Amino acid sequence: MLKEIQSLHPLEGTLLGVAQASLQLVRYQDFDQTIASVVEIMGKSAQVDRCYIFKNSFDQENPLMNQLVEWASEGVSIQIENPELQGLPYAIYPDLYQRLKAGQAVYGAVADCPEPFKSIMAEQEIQAFLFLPILCKNELWGFIGYDACQEERQWEAAEISALQTLANAFGFFIENLQLRNELEEKNKQFDLALKGSKDGIWDINLVTDQTYVSQRWKQMFGFEETTFTWTYDRWLDLIHPDDKQRVDENLRAFMSSGTGTNDIEYRMRHGNGHYIWVLSRSAVELAADGQPVRIAGSDTDITERKIHEQVLGENERQYRNLVNNLREVVFESDAQGNITFLNQSWEQLTGYTVAESLGKQGRLFLAPSALPSVQPTLDKMNRSPHTYTNVELQYQHKSGKVVWAEVKTKRILSPTGETIGSTGTIVDIIERKKAEEDTARAIEKEKELMELRSRFIMMASHEFRTPLATIQSSLDILRIYLQTADEHLRQMCEKHFEKMGTEIHRVGDLMNDILLLGKMQAGKTKLQLKQVYLNELIVNLLAHHYSNGPDPRIPRFIQIGKPKTAAIDEQLITHCLMNLLSNALKFSTGKPAPEITLQFKRKKVEILVRDYGIGIHASDKKRVFEPFFRGSNVDQTPGTGLGLVVVKEFIDLHGGKIHFNSHRLGGTTFILELPL
């Protein structure tokens, strides 16, 4: 056939070749084989040395040409493998791209062409060329080229027109191929979407009553084995009796309007007899006279969703019942501060109903005195949006009275961290506020009583000290007068003088302890802290106060651990140790000497004062630190009942602790704990 074409007149051969190549395009099976066959037919029919097809590509906005296929006559070099012809810019020939895009043929003798196009063509032994544009959807897809390598061929207009016919046909071929590929891709996407969506597809011809249902639809409703013909009436009979009339009226109204799409939910009987919930989406086709001729759509099984909605609805009902029965107000607001949710406790707190409060700014219900607190609270919430902010505010009740409430609120954040609202609770604290006011009044009254007591103690101490000093002075004078008296009389009077002196000292100690206790309870005792080595303090204490005393026993000092300094008030701690050591000696007459142990630990120091005396009765242990309490077994041993009270107050001032261990007739150990 090709030999016959070559034997014809050039124009006749070209026309016959165009027809033959067009037939190849129509019979398309394989793209590469088809275009190879086309260029061979056209090369031989046009009696040229080469025929080829270039396809366009782009580097950013710069058009490039890429050789797809080539045919060459015998003895002419093949250029399809030439890398120089791949990604070749159109710019090598000025206006080449623009002329081809405009649908113009570009041809001529190579010798007359500009560089570098001329050199590129000469390297391929081309003397004359013809480029014909391939347009696809009005865009330049590429071009078909013809080369004359033996002579500078002159291209005739009729010949160019005939060859352009093939280029146009090839453009239509490419366009159809793209459409076919797009259609195949869309079909694949549609099939995949159907499988992925698990929807059943149906189509009813309302004129012929013919119906199509997809396999998935049959599986969904349990009719895989059914062979009967589906009709609209048969389908309508499967609708739940409670939904049937509603669905029929809905669809008939939709088919009458014929516009848009229609979504409806209903129950449909499964092939096994039970009902499933369906979401049906449909569209209708109208004839020229406006009558519906076809309706098609998809069905989705939403039974599980409906069950979840029922459960969710029940949960929401229970939640609302729970929230509405709370004593606290539960609220939510949007980003602008408008109330979006309230429970029924709101009405009890403010007197306003939920209905008349929703949509309004929360600050509108505050008392004027509370408004200055709003902005600082909002600023605090913005700084810590993930945590609750507590604030006490006054609300203006509908009746006009002011109501105290505690608001606990936090921000509601979107997944991106933006504030979309606030949520929280409001608690009526009227009773608490009343209690706080009562407590404040009681505290103020107690302060007044404490002040009065402090004044009384100081006054009483002064008033007692003056007569005690007078009595002591009188005793001293009497002793002087009796120095010349009879020895017997002097001895008898001295016994009474000693008793009187002892009582004077006891009352003096009592007044000192009362004065100390009063100052502490009045808050007038201030710590004078400094770093002190307790081991040195104890050694000095024992040397100055117990080495030459009336009791020959000297407390034994034991140190455990490396000495450290402690921040203490040296005077107060000295008083505590002297009081404990005095008690240890006083209540252990005739027993081994007491022990004072200093034990250093990592974060604290312990001072243990141990005696081997009479111990403390179990029934007395709970009252040891009560003012004026004295143990039931102390008999006539002197004391005020205030010493341990003062010691405990001093240790508490230091942030320490005091406790004891005691066994009847087994001695007592008092432990002081002080922080390091």
Q: Is the pLDDT of residue 565 over 60?
A: yes
Higher pLDDT, 516 or 362: 362
Beta bridge partners of 347: none
User: Hey, where are the domains in the chain?
Assistant: 2-181, 199-307, 326-428, 435-521, 529-675
Provide CATH code, domain 529-675. 3.30.565.10
Cα(304)–Cα(278) distance, integer angstroms: 10
pLDDT digits 0-9 by tens, 474-487: 777 777 777 777 77
Residues in the chain: 676
Mean pLDDT of 334-359: 90
pLDDT exceeds cutoff 80 at 430: yes
Could you confirm whether domain 2-181 is CATH 3.30.450.40? yes
pLDDT in tens, 591-614: 999 999 999 998 899 999 999 988
Mean pLDDT of the 251-268 span? 86
- How confident is the model at residue 666, as a pLDDT? 76
The CATH classification of domain 326-428, taken from the options 3.40.50.720, 3.40.50.300, 3.30.1370.60, 3.30.450.20: 3.30.450.20
Comparing 199-307 with 435-521, is the CATH topology the same? no
Please determine, for residue 6, whether its predicted confidence score (pLDDT) is greater than 60.
no
Instruction: Find the mean pLDDT for residues 98-105.
Output: 96
Q: What is the structure's pLDDT at 36? A: 93
Tell me the pLDDT tens digit for each residue of 276-322. 999 989 898 888 888 888 888 888 888 888 888 888 877 777 767 66
**Is residue 277 within 8 Å of 301, Cβ to Cβ?**
yes
pLDDT digits (tens, 9 = 90+) for 144-183: 999 999 999 999 999 999 999 999 999 999 999 888 888 7
Q: Give the confidence band of 5 by pLDDT, cuts at 50, 70, 90.
A: very low
Q: Assess contact for 650 and 572: CB atoms under 8 A.
A: yes
Structural contact between residues 279 and 297, judged by C-beta atoms closer than 8 angstroms: no
What is the average pLDDT across 12-23?
87
Q: Are 612 and 667 a contacting pair, CB within 8 Å? A: yes
Reduced 3-state DSSP string for 492-540: HHHHHHHHHHHHHHHHHHHHHHHHHHHHHHCCCCCCCEEEEEHHHHHHH
Q: What is the pLDDT of residue 1?
A: 47
Assess whether pLDDT exceeds 50 at residue 2: no
Per residue in 652-672, pLDDT tens? Answer: 989 999 999 987 667 899 999
Domain 199-307 classification at class level: alpha beta
Q: Identify the pLDDT of residue 593.
A: 92
Domain spanning 435-521, CATH class: mainly alpha
> Mean per-residue pLDDT for 42-54?
94
Whether the predicted pLDDT of 501 surpasses 70: no
pLDDT range class, residue 457, cuts 50, 70, 90: low
The 10s digit of each residue's pLDDT in 485-499 is 777 777 777 777 777
Backbone torsions φ then ψ of 595, nearest 5 degrees? -125, 140
Q: CB-based burial of residue 646 (10 Å sphere; 0-12 exposed, 13-18 middle, 19+ buried)?
A: buried
- Residue 453 — very low, low, confident or very high, per pLDDT cuts 50/70/90? low
- What is this structure's pTM? 0.39
